[in-house]
């Protein structure tokens, strides 16, 4: 049996051309997405509507034939399913009823998580049933550190002062929150696999806010525990880790967490990743989303350079961060063509 291109790359096989998908590929840059979004009500309503969430997940595949669909959802579904108040204010991002210290943890209800998250699992099943036999379905969750940032800050943050102050002044209480999130993440992702997810991605979007010592404690260690638990339950399901802006801490993440692949932000030099990471795991990334927004010669040069640098090992072409909503859809068409037509240069 031949593996789907995405699964083959995750199994360490070099694919020519490499499989590709784009972070936030189902989103506001597509007019058909904006139409469904307007029908759905709020953003959270869309995430919790299996019919519409399945529809927007599939939209970019119809246009561009990516090798993977990623569940349309949000990393804050876990805190919401644990009972934390959450709303998405238009143009403002998420607003949560912040948990400032360990006393707030009692309000979380892990026992109710699957009931509340049921529409997400239903969406996963629907998407899987709709996919052809060469397209892979990716389920995902936020990593505990990143989710904890939102839960404690109550939304986005520049300095992460509240969440870090919690961690520094009450390390045992903060570890409790991390433990709750490790367990919830394993349960939530395992349910996604049972519903049909074939690959899982862990988004640690705020990994770059951590000092090296805290990265070890709050990014590497929880990720290692989640990966170990999921591998025990679902040994065949590959896991991609995305510790954004981890920089010099990337190697310890790759060596210690057990992930099958690492997703790279745009700051990571591709030739460094080829030399130091690709022998250990598959790599995914890392085109600057603004290059895709800009298009033209810059897009062509950057995409081909990335393909030349990473395409001769296990590689999944992606952006280094989510697609920007002003991106012209035809730039994605151009990118898909560049990837499909690419051939590795014959080495002299």
Of 235-274, binders to a second copy (CB under 8 A) are 245-250, 266-270, 272
Rounded Cα gap, residues 154 and 276, in angstroms = 37
Among 37, 164, 225, 234, binds a second copy (CB under 8 A): 164
- Contact range with a second copy by CB under 8 A, out of 23-31, 131-139, 191-199, 285-293: 285-293
**Applying CB under 8 A, does 165 fall inside the site for a second copy?**
yes
Q: HSE-up of 278 (CA within 13 Å, CB side)? A: 22
- Contact range with a second copy by CB under 8 A, out of 72-80, 139-147, 157-165, 332-340: 157-165
**CB of 105: closest distance to a second copy in angstroms?**
19
Decide: 336 and 304 in contact? Cβ < 8 Å: no
Catalytic residue among 33, 64, 121, 150: 150
How many residues sit in the footprint of a second copy (CB under 8 A)? 43
Rounded Cα gap, residues 138 and 193, in angstroms = 9
**Applying CB under 8 A, does 168 fall inside the site for a second copy?**
yes
Among 90, 115, 133, 326, binds a second copy (CB under 8 A): 326
Rounded Cα gap, residues 146 and 207, in angstroms = 7
The CA-atom distances, in angstroms, between 166 and each of 27, 114, 185, 206 are: 34, 28, 21, 16
Catalytic residue among 29, 67, 74, 187: 74
Closest CA relative to residue 342, chosen from 5, 19, 11, 6? 19
Nearer to a second copy, 260 or 265 (CB): 265
- Contact range with a second copy by CB under 8 A, out of 58-66, 74-82, 102-110, 208-216: 208-216
Residue count of the chain? 348
Does the active-site annotation cover 74?
yes
Q: HSE-up of 274 (CA within 13 Å, CB side)? A: 13
Tokens (6 digits) for 183 = 């367990």
**CB of 236: closest distance to a second copy in angstroms?**
32
Closest CA relative to residue 71, chosen from 190, 196, 176, 171? 196
**Applying CB under 8 A, does 13 fall inside the site for a second copy?**
no
Crossing angle for the helix pair 161-169 and 171-195, nearest 10 degrees? 120
**CB of 167: closest distance to a second copy in angstroms?**
8
Among 41, 107, 296, 328, binds a second copy (CB under 8 A): 296
**CB of 268: closest distance to a second copy in angstroms?**
6
Alpha helices, H only, the chain:
5-10, 31-40, 43-47, 50-64, 77-81, 113-130, 144-153, 161-169, 171-195, 212-215, 221-233, 250-257, 270-276, 289-294, 296-310, 329-341
Nearer to a second copy, 6 or 319 (CB): 319
**Applying CB under 8 A, does 154 fall inside the site for a second copy?**
no
Decide: 321 and 244 in contact? Cβ < 8 Å: yes
Decide: 234 and 271 in contact? Cβ < 8 Å: no
- Contact range with a second copy by CB under 8 A, out of 3-11, 125-133, 137-145, 211-219: 211-219
Does the active-site annotation cover 24?
yes
- Contact range with a second copy by CB under 8 A, out of 20-28, 53-61, 168-176, 340-348: 168-176
The CA-atom distances, in angstroms, between 286 and each of 33, 108, 171, 264 are: 24, 36, 34, 5
The set of catalytic residues is 24, 28, 37, 74, 150
Q: Which residues bind a second copy (CB under 8 A)?
A: 159-161, 164-165, 168-169, 171, 208-215, 245-250, 266-270, 272, 286, 288-291, 293-294, 296, 298-299, 302, 305, 320, 324, 326
């Amino acid at each position: 049996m031949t593996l789907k291109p995405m699964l083959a790359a995750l199994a360490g096989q070099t694919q020519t051309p490499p499989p590709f998908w784009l972070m936030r590929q189902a989103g506001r840059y597509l007019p058909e997405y904006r139409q469904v979004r307007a029908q759905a009500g709020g953003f959270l309503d869309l995430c919790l509507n299996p019919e519409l969430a399945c529809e927007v997940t599939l939209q970019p595949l119809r246009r561009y034939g990516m090798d993977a669909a990623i569940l349309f959802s949000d990393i804050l579904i876990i805190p919401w399913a644990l009972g934390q108040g959450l709303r998405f204010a238009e143009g403002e991002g998420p607003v949560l009823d912040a948990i400032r210290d360990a006393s707030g943890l009692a309000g979380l209800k892990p026992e109710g998580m699957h009931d509340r998250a049921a529409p997400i699992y239903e969406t996963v099943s629907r998407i899987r049933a709709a996919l052809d036999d060469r397209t892979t379905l990716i389920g995902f969750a936020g990593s505990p550190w990143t989710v904890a940032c939102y839960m404690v800050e109550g939304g986005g943050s520049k300095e992460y002062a509240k969440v870090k102050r919690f961690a520094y002044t009450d390390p045992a209480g903060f570890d409790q929150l991390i433990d709750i999130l490790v367990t919830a993440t394993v349960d939530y992702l395992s349910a996604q696999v049972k519903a049909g997810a074939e690959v899982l991605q862990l988004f640690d979007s705020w990994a770059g806010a951590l000092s090296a010592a805290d990265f070890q404690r709050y990014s590497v260690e929880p990720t290692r525990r989640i990966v170990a638990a999921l591998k025990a339950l679902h040994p065949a399901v590959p896991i991609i880790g995305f510790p954004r802006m981890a920089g010099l801490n990337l190697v310890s993440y790759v060596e210690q967490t057990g992930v099958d692949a690492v997703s790279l932000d745009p700051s990571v030099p591709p030739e460094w990743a080829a030399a130091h990471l690709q022998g250990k795991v598959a790599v995914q990334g890392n085109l600057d989303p603004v290059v895709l927004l800009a298009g033209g010669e810059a897009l062509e040069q950057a995409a081909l350079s990335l393909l030349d640098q990473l395409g001769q090992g296990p590689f999944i072409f992606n952006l280094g961060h989510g697609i920007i909503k002003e991106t012209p859809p035809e730039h994605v068409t151009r990118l898909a063509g560049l990837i499909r037509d690419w051939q590795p240069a014959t080495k002299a």
